[in-house]
């Protein structure tokens, strides 16, 4: 076989066959990629559906409390009169309540009133005469409304089933698709193909709810076909180009293959000193000169690769530092600026915060002269009002078209200095900007690759800042009562344990003031729960206003609140409680929805360590007993717990 024939065979083996294999692999990967994107969207929709369902369950809580407190219903259940109970349940189905269900102690459905397609029920046991008589479940939404909300929030069709029976949905499958829950797969509904999955939504009582989240497969198939067409055109163009180049090279190499083979062997040994002999001015001479040029470039590239390897090692170290300071927003921003300056070979850089609470300003290098001017010009240009910014703000107002959360970098020039700045846009909460990261250098404009690197670093810094903010918010919410802003029960337990240990260590008194808002149930029943929430918030404000910095007001539960008073005996705490009582009595609580204002009072119980208790449990119990003594004595008063010695003498 001739040398040219061998080249053709070689071309077929190293180009055509791999390209066929590559085409098959790329076709498969693009199908999997698009399917994976669709499945990820469906999975995200499933999480949203869980959230919507949980939100509706929580929304049923106020209605459930009203139903379970109904005296006529409780009386009917106490005498096991199901007919009267059902009649009373029908009377309670009003307003937001869609359906009410009554279950026996064995979780058997005894009565259902209202919509047969009600979902997201919240249940609670009902007791009469000290005994549990059954469970009542209240729902404020039905299957059709839940399906519509899921469709509006996720863009996915939803169908709801209970015990494999179709309830409602934006599509109407004849039956629940059979298969493993949570596994994305293909569905056929009335001859149309869908991609989707089935999930189970647990109900507090009764059988679970199943939801099918579906997306039409036609758009997915169309995207896969378009991607495959593009890949096919690119591979075909590459094949034609490779074939033309192979033919030209095979003709040029036929006469002088030994010369170039010898040169290639020298290059393979790493010998770049001896060039390829160049004779004449024909194509092979030009090829020889290019070969020698390539040899020189390869030598320089090897040196550059070695330098890049050292830079990569340093970058890896810095990435490790970034991971170690993932919740240190200032450290992350400082690292991003340093990395941008080093990677882009800039002379200086800085991070400037628009939101002072987002991060601290940070400078790298000498920001003087034209470098400072270029930085300032680029930062002004980054936030200048341009047509695309107006479009962006309009998109932010459109809930159906979420705005692009990353802005492109912007150039500026001042004399010999070039500046590059990219805004740091918040990933949550609308089109808000945290600040900007900017770099500058002299004598060389920044390339698009360097722009993309700066945009990437700014984006990663924003992610870290948002993560730090979310972490701080979660930590704060974990110990704070959402309605009153006071410490919650969990935080109260920690505070009491800490203060009791300090009291024992330094032999100092510790008091606990416990209060209960008088006739709070009447406020809720007469004026509604929103007015009751306003009363709780106002009373909490009074406690904060009259507490010292070392005192710890907290919400104990319902309408009960406490104040931990360190370093104060029972008499001092009682005087504090009296001031709080008078302040509450004189407070006018504004009416909700334009209603008239109202006045409230509170009863207080005071206990102390070591005067009336010895540990946390006895301290709470003593304060609670004093509180209910105040209630029995006529309310709106302060009562101190009896001392330990007095209680022992009385017993």
Q: What percent of the chain shows pLDDT beyond 90?
A: 24
Highest mean pLDDT among 151-160, 241-250, 403-412: 151-160
Q: Per DSSP, which regions of 558-601 are E strands?
A: 560-566, 588-589, 598-599
Assigned domain for 585 exists: yes
Assigned domain for 280 exists: yes
The pLDDT tens digits of the residues spanning 459-494 come to 888 888 777 777 776 766 677 888 898 999 988 999
To the nearest 10 degrees (0 to 180), the angle between helices 71-78 and 61-68 is 60
Evaluated on CA atoms 192, 193, 195, 196, the torsion sign reads: positive
Last residue of a domain, one of 267, 300, 315: 315
Q: How far apart are CA 442 and CA 454, in angstroms?
A: 17
Domain shared by 505 and 445, yes or no: no
pLDDT of res. 104 = 82
Q: Which of 34, 379, 534, 559 is catalytic?
A: 559
Q: Is a pLDDT exceeding 60 seen at residue 152?
A: yes
Give the DSSP letter string of 349-362.
EEEEESSTTT---E
Three-state SS at 548: coil
Assigned domain for 327 exists: no
Domain shared by 515 and 613, yes or no: yes
Three-state SS at 559: coil
Assigned domain for 359 exists: yes
Assigned domain for 12 exists: yes
Evaluated on CA atoms 106, 107, 109, 111, the torsion sign reads: positive
Query: Per the omega criterion (within 30 degrees of 0), is the bond before 610 cis?
Result: yes
Q: Which of 47, 54, 126 is nearest to 92 (CA)?
A: 126
Domain shared by 367 and 311, yes or no: no
Q: Give the domain extent around 26.
A: 3-34+232-253
pLDDT of res. 254 = 64
Domain shared by 510 and 591, yes or no: yes
Q: Is a pLDDT exceeding 70 seen at residue 3?
A: no
Q: Is a pLDDT exceeding 50 seen at residue 403?
A: no
Q: Which residue has the higher pLDDT, 551 or 360?
A: 551
The pLDDT tens digits of the residues spanning 275-295 come to 666 666 666 667 767 767 777
Domain shared by 46 and 166, yes or no: yes
pLDDT band at 410 (very low <50, low <70, confident <90, very high): confident
Q: Within 10 A of 452 (CB to CB), how many other CB atoms are there?
A: 12
Q: What is the mean pLDDT of residues 410-415?
A: 89
Assigned domain for 354 exists: yes
Q: Is a pLDDT exceeding 60 seen at residue 323?
A: no
pLDDT of res. 417 = 92
* Residue 365's CATH number: 3.30.450
Q: Is a pLDDT exceeding 70 seen at residue 270?
A: no
| Range in 200-209, 361-370, 516-525 the model is least confident about | 200-209
Per the annotation, the verdict on 559 as an active-site residue is yes
Sequence-distant (6+) residues with CB within 8 A of 66 are 92
The pLDDT tens digits of the residues spanning 79-95 come to 778 888 888 888 888 88
pLDDT of res. 463 = 81
pLDDT of res. 313 = 44
The number of CA neighbours under 13 Å toward the Cβ of 286 is 5
Domain shared by 30 and 56, yes or no: no
Domain shared by 366 and 404, yes or no: yes
pLDDT of res. 63 = 85
Domain shared by 613 and 493, yes or no: yes
Sequence-distant (6+) residues with CB within 8 A of 118 are 98, 99, 101, 139, 141, 142, 143
| Pairing between β-strand 588-589 and β-strand 417-425 as defined by DSSP bridges | unpaired
Q: What is the mean pLDDT of residues 418-431?
A: 76
Q: What percent of the chain shows pLDDT beyond 70?
A: 80
Q: Within 10 A of 198 (CB to CB), how many other CB atoms are there?
A: 23
Q: How far apart are CA 333 and CA 277, in angstroms?
A: 55
Domain shared by 128 and 243, yes or no: no
Domain shared by 414 and 553, yes or no: no
- Cα separation values, 401 from 102, 148, 149, 425, 481, Å: 44, 18, 17, 17, 35
Q: Is a pLDDT exceeding 60 seen at residue 385?
A: yes
Average pLDDT value over all residues in the chain: 81
Q: Within 10 A of 6 (CB to CB), how many other CB atoms are there?
A: 11
Q: How far apart are CA 205 and CA 416, in angstroms?
A: 73
| Range in 9-13, 63-67, 154-158, 191-195 the model is least confident about | 9-13
Assigned domain for 49 exists: yes
Q: Is a pLDDT exceeding 70 seen at residue 414?
A: yes
Domain shared by 269 and 249, yes or no: no
**Total number of domains constituting the chain:** 5
pLDDT of res. 78 = 78
Domain shared by 361 and 306, yes or no: no
Assigned domain for 326 exists: no
pLDDT of res. 240 = 82
Q: Is a pLDDT exceeding 90 seen at residue 222?
A: no
Last residue of a domain, one of 315, 333, 362: 315
| Burial class of residue 41 (count of CB atoms within 10 Å of its CB; 0-12, 13-18, 19+) | middle
Sequence-distant (6+) residues with CB within 8 A of 537 are 483, 484, 485
Q: Is a pLDDT exceeding 90 seen at residue 579?
A: yes
The pLDDT tens digits of the residues spanning 601-611 come to 999 999 999 98
Q: How far apart are CA 318 and CA 91, in angstroms?
A: 68
């Amino acid at each position: 076989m001739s040398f040219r024939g061998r080249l053709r065979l070689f071309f077929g083996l190293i180009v055509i066959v791999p390209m066929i294999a590559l085409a098959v692999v790329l076709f498969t990967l693009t199908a999997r990629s698009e399917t994976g994107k669709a499945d990820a969207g469906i999975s995200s929709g499933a999480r949203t559906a869980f959230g919507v369902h949980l939100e509706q369950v929580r929304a049923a809580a106020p209605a459930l409390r009203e139903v379970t407190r109904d005296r006529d219903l409780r009386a009917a259940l106490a005498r096991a009169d199901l007919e009267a109970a059902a009649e009373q349940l029908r009377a309670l189905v009003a307003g937001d309540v869609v359906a009410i269900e009554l279950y026996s102690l064995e979780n058997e459905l005894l009565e259902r009133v209202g919509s047969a397609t009600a979902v997201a029920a919240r249940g609670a046991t009902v007791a009469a005469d000290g005994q549990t008589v059954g469970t009542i479940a209240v729902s404020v939404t039905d299957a059709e409304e839940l399906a519509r909300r899921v469709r509006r929030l996720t863009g996915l069709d939803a169908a709801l089933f209970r015990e494999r029976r179709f309830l409602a949905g934006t599509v109407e499958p004849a039956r629940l698709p059979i298969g493993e829950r949570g596994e994305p797969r293909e569905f056929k509904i009335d001859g149309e193909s869908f991609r989707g999955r089935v999930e189970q939504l647990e109900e507090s009582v009764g059988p679970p709810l199943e939801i099918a989240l579906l997306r039409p497969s036609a758009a997915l198939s169309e995207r896969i076909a378009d991607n495959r067409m593009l890949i096919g055109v690119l591979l075909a163009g590459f094949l034609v180009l490779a074939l033309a180049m192979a033919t030209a090279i095979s003709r040029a190499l036929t006469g002088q293959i030994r010369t170039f083979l010898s040169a290639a062997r020298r290059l393979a040994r790493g010998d770049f000193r001896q060039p390829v002999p160049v004779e004449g001015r024909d194509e092979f001479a030009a090829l020889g000169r290019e070969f020698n040029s390539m040899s020189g470039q390869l030598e320089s590239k090897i040196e550059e690769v070695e330098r890049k390897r050292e830079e990569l090692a340093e970058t890896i170290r810095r990435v490790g530092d970034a991971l170690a300071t993932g919740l240190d927003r200032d450290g992350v921003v400082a690292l991003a600026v340093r990395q941008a300056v080093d990677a882009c070979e800039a002379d200086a850089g800085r991070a400037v915060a628009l939101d002072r609470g987002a991060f601290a300003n940070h400078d790298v290098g000498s920001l003087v002269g034209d470098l400072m001017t270029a930085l300032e010009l680029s930062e002004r240009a980054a936030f200048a009002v341009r047509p695309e910014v107006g479009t962006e703000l309009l998109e932010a107002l459109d809930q159906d078209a979420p705005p692009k959360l990353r802005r492109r970098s912007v150039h500026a020039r001042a004399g010999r200095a070039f500046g590059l700045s990219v805004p740091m846009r918040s990933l949550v909460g609308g089109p808000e900007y945290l600040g900007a990261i900017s770099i500058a250098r002299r004598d060389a404009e920044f390339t698009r690759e360097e722009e993309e690197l700066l945009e990437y670093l700014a984006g990663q810094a924003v992610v870290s800042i948002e993560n730090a903010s979310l972490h701080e918010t979660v930590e704060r919410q974990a110990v704070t009562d959402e309605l009153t802003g006071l410490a919650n029960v969990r935080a109260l337990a920690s505070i009491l344990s800490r203060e009791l240990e300090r009291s024992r260590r330094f032999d100092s008194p510790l008091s606990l003031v416990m209060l209960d808002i008088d006739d709070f149930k009447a406020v809720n029943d007469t004026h509604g729960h929103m007015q009751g929430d306003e009363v709780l918030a106002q009373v909490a404000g009074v406690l904060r206003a009259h507490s010292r910095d070392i005192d710890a007001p907290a919400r104990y539960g319902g309408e009960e609140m406490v104040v931990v008073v360190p370093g104060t005996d029972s008499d001092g705490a009682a005087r504090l409680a009296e001031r709080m009582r008078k302040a509450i009595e004189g407070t006018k609580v504004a009416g909700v929805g334009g209603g008239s204002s109202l006045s409230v009072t509170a009863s207080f119980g005071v206990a102390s360590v070591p005067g009336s208790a010895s540990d946390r449990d006895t301290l709470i119990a003593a304060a609670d007993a004093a509180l209910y003594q105040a209630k029995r004595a006529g309310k709106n008063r302060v009562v101190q717990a009896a001392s330990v010695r007095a209680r022992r003498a009385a017993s």
